Amino acid sequence: MSTTSTSLPAATPSRTQPKPFRQWVNNNRRALSALMIFVVMLTIFMILSPRVFTNPITYRSIFISLPISLFVVVPLVFIIASGEIDLSFPATAGITSWVFAAAVRDGWDPFTAVIPALLLGILVGVSVGTLVTYVGLSSLVATLGMNFLLRGIINMGTEGIAIQFPQMRELLFWQIFAGRIDNFPWIRGFPIHMLWGLLFVGLGWILFNRHKFGTHVQIVGDNPASAAEMGINVNRVKIRAYIFMGIGATLAGVLSVLVNQNWWPTTGDGLLLPALAAVFVGGTPTWGGIGTVVGSSIGVGIIASIETGIIAAGLTGYVTQFFNGLVIILSLIGQRFNGPRHR
């Protein structure tokens, strides 16, 4: 209790109402830093290769593959805010999109084929969540194992054979979820799935910041003992976060099949490190309890632009990884100034 108020109970002190704008900046520091990093990076690219980075086609090509990452990065923010980690989402995306691809190949309607894929994604989420909570395994090790296990099942089941969909573009499902906008002249060719990705980010923001589930995820990650003392079922919250991860990975896998018009036994594999990097570059801290859906989604944009930027700047592809690393480390140093680590 503050001693000021004890001695002065009658004269209610004029409570400082911080200026709304400053309060808003303070509450969104991490996301704003991610935005700043993104803008600075794009400015540098624009100076280095103005022709490429002022051309809408460049962004269009970035936007074609970027939404796939959004579907895994948003739930990954929940997992990391809950104090855990997930390394199994690449194989989850692979195995669920395999179910989808195989069903469509066998004549299923794609709208129906999504259902078993989603159910499998949920099942993987429940399994991983149970291993991490009730069985008590470390999430780092359990999900690492699960990633190998699921990819192993794919390899045994397919013996490395891909599934191709040359006629994919004719399907209504493809046109709705991965088509191009043709009707508006100034955004002609804009990939529709970018809009679905942004919608997912919006829903993720609401779930994280305005819904009971997201709040409980953050409280559990901040202090599981406190959460339990206040009646939050810690295990159940964590399992739900893994279910959300499973659903996100499924959507990413299915979208990747649509975008590539092909399913490979390696589908999803390439997501692991860029997605994790995007989460942290975007301002979600590693220690749990807090996170930013919007910031980490901007992180996806940062990671996705690096490669394009480097090639466009006339450097060879051999330096991509070096610059990836440089950007990650510099951004994390930048995010370090966003307030002290409280735990």
Query: Which residues of the chain form contacts with other proteins (CB under 8 A)?
Result: 1-7, 9, 12-18, 23, 27, 206, 210-213, 215-216, 218-219, 222-223, 225-232, 289-290, 342-343
How far apart are CB 219 and other proteins at their closest, in Å? Answer: 5
If the CB atoms of residues 3 and 316 are measured against other proteins, the closer one turns out to be 3
Amino acid letter, 343: R
What tokens were used for 25? Answer: 């900046």
Task: Give the nearer residue to other proteins in terms of CB position, either 215 or 262.
Answer: 215
Nearest-approach distance from CB 74 to other proteins, in angstroms: 18
Other CB atoms within a 10 A radius of the CB of residue 89 amount to 35
CB of 275 to other proteins, least distance (A): 24
Check if the beta carbon of residue 285 is closer than 8 Å to that of residue 218: no
Strand partners of residue 164? 262
* Token pair belonging to 79: 């997992």
Q: Residue 16 corresponds to which amino acid?
A: T
Helix, strand or coil for residue 75? helix
CB closer to other proteins out of 2 and 167: 2
State the number of CA atoms in the 13 A half-sphere of 342 facing the CB: 8
What is the crossing angle of helices 234-260 and 212-222, to 10°?
120
**Closer of 227 and 251 to other proteins (Cβ):** 227
Tell the smallest beta-carbon distance from residue 9 to other proteins (Å).
5
5 vs 155 by CB, closer to other proteins: 5
Task: List residues bridging with 120 in a β-sheet.
Answer: none
The nearest distance, CB 317 to other proteins, in angstroms, is 40
Angle subtended by helix axes 293-312 and 272-281, to nearest 10 = 120
Angle CA(185)–CA(186)–CA(187) in degrees, nearest 5?
A: 95
Question: Which token pair is 341?
Answer: 């680590």
| Nearest CA-CA partner of 90 in 317, 323, 264 | 264
- Write down the least CB distance from residue 135 to other proteins, Å: 19
Nearer to other proteins, 15 or 51 (CB): 15
Tell me whether residue 36 or residue 228 sits nearer to other proteins (CB atom). Answer: 228
Residue 290 Cβ vs other proteins, minimum distance, rounded to whole Å? 5
Alpha helices in 261-319, H assignment, sequence order = 272-281, 293-312
